[in-house]
Structures are given as C-alpha cells and as structure tokens.
Amino acid sequence: MGWESWIVDTLRRALAYGTPLLWGTLGEIYAERAGVVNLGVEGMMILGALSAFAVAQSTGNPWLGILAAAAVGGLSALIHAFFSITLRANQYVSGLALTIFGLGLSGLLGTSWVGISLRNPLPKATIPGLGDIPILGPALFRDHSYLTYIGLVLAAVLWFVLYKTRWGIVIRSVGESPSTADAMGINVFAVRYLCVVFGGVLAGVAGGFLSVEYRPSWTEGMTAGMGWIVIALTIFAAWDPLQAVGGVVLFGGLYHLAYRLQRWFPPEFLKLMPYAFAILVLAVAGLRKVRRGAPAALGLPYVRGQR
C-alpha cells in the first residue's frame, strides 16, 4: 500500500472514529462553559447506543434510533442537572454515579439485543465535487456518515454561537461569574440546565452513532471508555468547539494507527495508545494547572446571594 493510500485510509478512519468523540466533546464543552462538569458522558453515550439500536431495529428507521438516543441522553443529563444544580451535589460524584448507572442499566436491558446485526444502518453520503479532489476528496468528502458532516458543521455553528452571539456571552458569563450574571438579570439555573441537557443530547447522539452506523449492532460496554476521552478532549481543545475538531481527528487517528501498526509493535501497547494519550493530556493539565479557556466557576455550585 502506497503512502497516499495510507493517508487516505488513516484520515477516513480517524473521521469515522472521531465522529462520536466530536459530538460528545461539543456537548461537554457547552456544559462546562456554563460551569457544570459532567463526568457522566460515558453513561449517557452507552444509554444512547442501546436506545438507538433498540428503536432502529424495532422500527427499521435508523434516524428514529438517533432521535431516541438524543432523547435518552438529554433525560440522563437532566438527572445530573437536578442533582448538581438544584440540589448542589458534588458534580464529580454525580457524574460518576451517572456513568456507573448507565453502564449497569444498559448491560441489564441490552441482554436480549446482543449478537443481532442492525438491519438498516445509517446511510453514507458524498459531497458532490469535493469528493473528486485528489487524496483529500476520498479521505474527507466521500462515503462518510451524515452525522460526520453534521457534526463538523455543528462545531462551526456552536463556535459562532459561543463567541459571536448574545447567547454565547450569556453562557460564558454564567460559567465565569454566575453571581455577576445573576445580578444582570440572567437566570443562572436555567442557563446551566439548558447547557447540561444540550450536552446530554449530543452525548446520546454520539452513542447512537456507534450502534446504528459505526458498528451497527449492540454490544455491552461498546463505548469502551470513549466518554473519558471526551473529557480529555474538552480540556485538550481549551473548551473551544473548533479546536475540538482537530483534537478528535488526532485521537481518531491514534485509534486507527493502533491497528495499522500491529505488524511492527506489540498490539497490547498500541491499543493503549489513545487512552494513554488522554491520560497524558489530563496529567499535563493538572501538573501545569492549564486553565486556558476554562471557566472560572467550573465545577462550583451556585448559591444565589453567595459570592
């Protein structure tokens, strides 16, 4: 295989694997921009994957499966929002509990779906004209999932909303100084609820993509730690939707190379590579106290009248 084929294949696989990471990361960025950490991404993704597969297999319509995944992800995030925003519980504990709950519930409810192939996976799309560009055309613009292209467009839209609109100013002000935002008449609790639930909707879609397109079947634990990579990517992208695109392509490429390089390196080491890189990102962020782009009130419950 020539170097051109290597590049094309690596980019194609990186985008495919990076699609659920992108959807999950975009949702987590918005939740954290509003000041709420959600470590329940893994749980929301796995519940989204199960619900998407069950609905898509039952109805024969994969898009209904994606809608179901979005709804389940949003509902799961609503639970986290209630505990962390209304009851002011520890956000990290609440998120971890959501992940444990999601993994356990999906394993219990998904038993009857194991080993069944999805009859109608999501279709793929090619962008006319751009798919004929040498190297980049086949790699980026030909035979990718609709959710891949929608995710890339969504990243640009969410960046614009976050930095160029009044809504973005409101979200960022709530994450930076909720007391100041409250004094200006902004409903801090409503903004945080909306952002957390929005993040859950995107995480649900991310999980749904796995079971109705990437691997059109249901397997217990099929998210395989992707939710934790999403948390690392949020930091790696400096809480910026456009930078998240580069991060997910990098992580997706590492995941693909873990299989391509098994001829020369031990497979056990290579399979650890994407997750080791995620741990490295979190470790460097902790040691150097990297806060570039991190909301000042991130992880802190807000009590009205308290500064």
pLDDT reported for residue 304: 78
> What does the alpha-carbon distance between residue 55 and residue 66 come to, in Å, rounded to a whole number?
9
Question: Residue 113 is encoded by which pair of tokens?
Answer: 């779906």
CA atoms within 13 A on the CB side of 187: 7
* Radius of gyration over every alpha carbon of the chain, rounded to an integer in angstroms: 19
Q: Six-digit token pair at 240?
A: 């910026």
175/210 Cα distance (integer angstroms): 31
* DSSP annotation of 144: E
Euclidean distance between CA atoms 175 and 33, whole angstroms: 5
Report pLDDT for 274: 64
Cβ atoms of 24 and 43 closer than 8 Å = no
**222-to-158, 208, 227 alpha-carbon distances in Å:** 28, 11, 11
Tell me how far apart the alpha carbons of residues 225 and 209 are, in angstroms, rounded to a whole number: 15
Q: Output the six-digit token pair for 192.
A: 């945080």
CATH code of the domain made up of 3-293? 1.10.3470
Sequence ranges of the domains in the chain: 3-293
Helix or strand (DSSP H, E) at 125: strand 124-125
Residues contacting residue 195 through CB under 8 Å, at least 6 positions apart: 30, 31, 33, 34, 36, 171
Q: What is the pLDDT of residue 186?
A: 95
Alpha-carbon distance of 39 to 241, in angstroms, equals 18
pLDDT of residue 150: 95
Instruction: Match 């319509």 to its residue by tokens.
Output: 61
Q: Which amino acid is at 15?
A: L
List residues bridging with 117 in a β-sheet.
217
Instruction: Report the amino acid identity of residue 276.
Output: A
CA dihedral 131, 211, 56, 155 (to 10 degrees): -50
DSSP 8-class letter at 212: I
- Count CB neighbours of 149 within 10 A: 17
Q: 299: helix, coil or strand? A: coil
> What is the pLDDT at residue 236?
85
Q: What is the pLDDT along the chain (307 residues), one digit of tens a residue?
A: 455 666 777 788 888 889 999 999 999 999 999 999 999 999 999 999 999 999 999 999 999 999 999 999 999 999 999 999 999 999 999 999 999 999 999 999 999 999 888 988 888 887 777 766 776 677 777 778 899 999 999 999 999 999 999 999 999 999 999 999 999 999 999 999 999 999 999 999 999 999 999 989 999 999 988 999 999 899 888 899 999 998 898 888 877 776 666 666 666 666 666 667 767 766 665 555 455 568 999 999 998 766 5
Report the number of secondary-structure helices (H) and strands (E) in the chain. 12, 2
Look at residue 202 in the predicted model and tell me its pLDDT. 98
Q: Does residue 235 contact residue 74 with C-beta atoms inside 8 Å?
A: no
- Three-state DSSP state, 91: helix
d(CA 251, CA 62): 26
Nearest to 83, CA basis, from 96, 69, 100: 96
Q: Which phi and psi angles does 119 have, rounded to 5°?
A: -75, -30
